[in-house]
Amino acid sequence: MNQLKQAIREQGRVLSSDVLKVDSFLNHQIDVDLMMSVGEEFARRFQTDSITKVLTIESSGIAPSMTAARDLKASLVFARKKKSLTMSSDVFVSQVYSFTKQETNDITVSKDFLTENDRVLIIDDFLANGQAAFGLIDIVQQAGAKVVGLGIVIEKSFQDGRQQLEDQGYRVESLARIHSLEKGQVTFVDELQLSNI
């Protein structure tokens, strides 16, 4: 997705060789136009998969999931990182180690919003080592529902999340794949392939 790659190139800040900050369009301020296009692209890629639910994790996964859910005519459910007081005890719970916060949190989804009949597309803002993705997969499995695939806005391909997910048979669709953040520079996987021709 060129529009997304351009935003990463122009607005992304490389904080270290493994962390990219994209606060100006995805993680704090939201570029609504761009998120609409991101959601449309996810929907295009999964349009024949009879998705009934898009599942993401609060808060940064919600914006890119909305258009996808609308276009797929599916509901959008987000896992909560903190259990709400109004949430009953009837929840699916999984543990997720946060790559950026370096702490483990319980994530919860009400049993009311995920059932064994659901075909689920999991969407998240970043894929690093796959902890968030596997936490969400665990919740879908607890519900007896089917994980149809994963939609990732920004994949850091130098970390092993994609490999782990593919090794377990999951389909991963990432809209921007970063090969490296070395020397403060973002290099995309497809640029690398082009420069090798």
Tally Cβ neighbours within 10 Å of residue 156: 24
Q: Is residue 131 involved in binding ligand 5GP (CB under 6 A)?
A: yes
Interatomic CA distance for residues 51 and 145, integer angstroms: 11
User: Is 60:38 a contact under the CB 8 Å cutoff?
Assistant: no
Nearest approach, Cβ of 100 to ligand 5GP (angstroms)?
5
Q: Is residue 168 involved in binding ligand 5GP (CB under 6 A)?
A: no
Residue 132 in marked binding region = yes
Nearest approach, Cβ of 152 to ligand 5GP (angstroms)?
9
The secondary structure of 72-104 as a DSSP string is HT-EEEEEBSS--TTS-S-EEEEEEE-TTT--E
Q: Which of 31, 41, 118, 124 binds ligand 5GP (CB under 6 A)?
A: 124
Q: Which of 11, 27, 142, 164 binds ligand 5GP (CB under 6 A)?
A: 27
Q: Is residue 152 involved in binding ligand 5GP (CB under 6 A)?
A: no
Per rule CB under 6 A, count of chain residues that contact ligand 5GP: 20
Buried b (16+ CB within 10 A) or exposed e, 115-128: eeebbbbbbbbbbb
Q: Is residue 172 involved in binding ligand 5GP (CB under 6 A)?
A: no
β-strand pairing of 187-188 with 172-180: antiparallel
Contact set with ligand 5GP (CB under 6 A): 19-22, 27, 60, 98-100, 124-133, 161
* Sequence ranges of the binding site: 20, 27, 128-132, 156
